[in-house]
């Protein structure tokens, strides 16, 4: 089978402003003073090398995602950021190794616009003071690479690096060679145990320009013939703030199962430079039970009842809400 894939692309275009309203009716060609013809060109490539049946090395240089499906329009009036799913091919393929219960790697951070990075100064002739306007800057991905794989002994690994630059409307070659770089790095290892239904893993993420680093240990254990499952994750940021996730699920009988989940985030925990945390200063406890039929019962082919309770509060103990939910099918 082919081990090497090479996919180059190029794009060129010209925008001609020949029908813009005249700025000076006495000068027929005055539109050319403010609206000059604009040419645009771009060049990039994707490279993939299959090291073996379980390992793959992928590069992308100046990728073009112009044909990727756009996000739905949204109006978010809350204090919390909306979570958008990844749709770009490079960040979708072979990235399940980077998934953890607490989402310390949110690939949409790579290539998203930078808030307030741009700056314009306007002269104020009325009082002699200048006004400064800060605005969001778009970003291009100069290059990214990742290697993912798994050994015969159950050790999974993944390493991802990316370099982005602020898009200042200059040519693509100038952006690649002289742009202001922002570097990202993600690493992950995970070792399987007990025939592959349990594991322990380590992960780290770094946003170099922000000096933001996050470290994580997570694991899953299924014991007693998978009747009890224990899942958990502990994270710590470079500024020594912590987050915890733990879960215990049990299914002693086929028709009955239950679970207890617990989340806790420090007051100043923040790993949104490369991850996704919807809020900090928060703790949550969820308890639930599920009853389901194993065989048809009279005229009922199958049935399920789920009861779940949820308690939320901040680190100081302030009650943020309690709910009890009943679902049946």
Separation of alpha carbons 86 and 83, rounded Å:
10
**What's residue 323's pLDDT?**
97
**Dihedral of the alpha carbons of 105, 106, 108, 113, in degrees to the nearest 10:** -80
Separation of alpha carbons 171 and 13, rounded Å:
12
**What's residue 34's pLDDT?**
59
Strand partners, 247: 231, 261
**What's residue 240's pLDDT?**
94
**What's residue 174's pLDDT?**
75
> Phi and psi dihedrals of 320, rounded to 5?
-105, 0
Return the structure tokens found at 244: 């915890």
**What's residue 35's pLDDT?**
65
**Strands of the chain, DSSP E:** 4-15, 38-52, 55-61, 114-122, 131-137, 139-150, 155-166, 181-193, 198-207, 212-223, 228-237, 242-253, 256-265, 282-292, 304-313, 319-328
pLDDT per residue over 183-222, tens digit each? Answer: 999 999 999 998 778 999 999 999 998 899 999 999 999 9
Q: Which runs of consecutive H residues, i.e. helices, occur in the chain?
A: 89-92, 172-178
C-alpha dist (Å) from residue 186 to 87, 108, 210: 19, 13, 15
**What's residue 22's pLDDT?**
56
**What's residue 59's pLDDT?**
94
Which residues, including other chains, have CB under 8 Å from residue 231's CB and lie 6 or more apart?
Answer: 101, 218, 219, 220, 221, 245, 246, 247, 248, 249
Conformational region of residue 170, where left means phi above 0, alpha means psi within -120 to 50, and beta covers everything else = beta
Place of tokens 């013939």: 225
**What's residue 29's pLDDT?**
58
* Per-residue confidence in pLDDT tens, the chain, 329 aa: 678 999 998 988 988 776 665 555 566 555 555 567 778 888 899 999 999 888 999 999 988 887 889 888 889 999 889 999 999 999 998 889 999 999 999 999 999 988 888 888 877 766 767 788 888 888 889 999 999 999 999 999 999 999 999 887 776 677 777 778 899 999 999 999 987 789 999 999 999 988 999 999 999 999 998 899 999 999 999 999 999 999 999 998 888 999 999 999 999 999 999 999 999 999 999 999 999 988 888 888 999 999 999 999 999 999 999 999 999 99
């Amino acid at each position: 089978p082919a081990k090497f894939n090479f996919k180059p692309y190029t794009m060129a275009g010209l925008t001609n402003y020949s029908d813009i309203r005249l700025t000076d009716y006495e000068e027929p060609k005055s539109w050319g003073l403010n609206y000059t013809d604009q040419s645009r060109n771009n060049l990039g490539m994707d490279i993939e090398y299959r090291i073996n049946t379980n390992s793959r090395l992928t590069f992308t240089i100046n990728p073009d995602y112009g044909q990727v499906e756009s996000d739905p329009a949204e109006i978010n009036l809350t204090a919390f950021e909306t979570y958008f799913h990844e749709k770009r091919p490079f960040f979708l393929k072979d990235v399940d190794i980077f998934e953890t219960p607490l989402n310390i790697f949110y690939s949409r951070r790579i290539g998203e616009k930078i808030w307030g990075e741009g700056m314009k100064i306007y002269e104020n002739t009325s009082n002699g003071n200048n006004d400064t306007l800060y605005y969001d800057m778009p970003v291009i991905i100069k290059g990214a690479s990742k290697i993912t794989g798994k050994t015969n002994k159950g050790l999974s690994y993944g390493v991802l690096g990316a370099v982005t630059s602020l898009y200042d409307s200059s040519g693509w070659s100038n952006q690649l060679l002289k742009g202001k770089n922002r570097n990202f790095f993600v690493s992950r290892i995970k070792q399987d145990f007990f025939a592959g239904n349990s594991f322990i893993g380590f992960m780290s993420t770094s946003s170099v320009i922000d000096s933001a680093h996050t470290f994580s240990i997570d694991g899953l254990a299924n014991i007693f013939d998978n009747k009890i499952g224990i899942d958990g994750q502990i994270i710590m940021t470079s500024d020594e703030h912590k987050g915890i996730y733990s879960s215990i699920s049990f299914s002693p009988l086929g028709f009955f199962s239950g679970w207890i989940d617990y989340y806790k985030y420090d007051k100043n925990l923040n790993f949104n430079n490369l991850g996704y945390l919807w809020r900090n200063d928060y703790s949550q406890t969820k308890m639930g039970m599920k009853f389901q039929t194993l065989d048809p019962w009279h005229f009922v082919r199958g049935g399920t009842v789920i009861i779940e309770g949820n308690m939320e509060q901040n680190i100081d103990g302030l009650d943020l809400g309690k709910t009890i939910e009943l679902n049946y099918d």
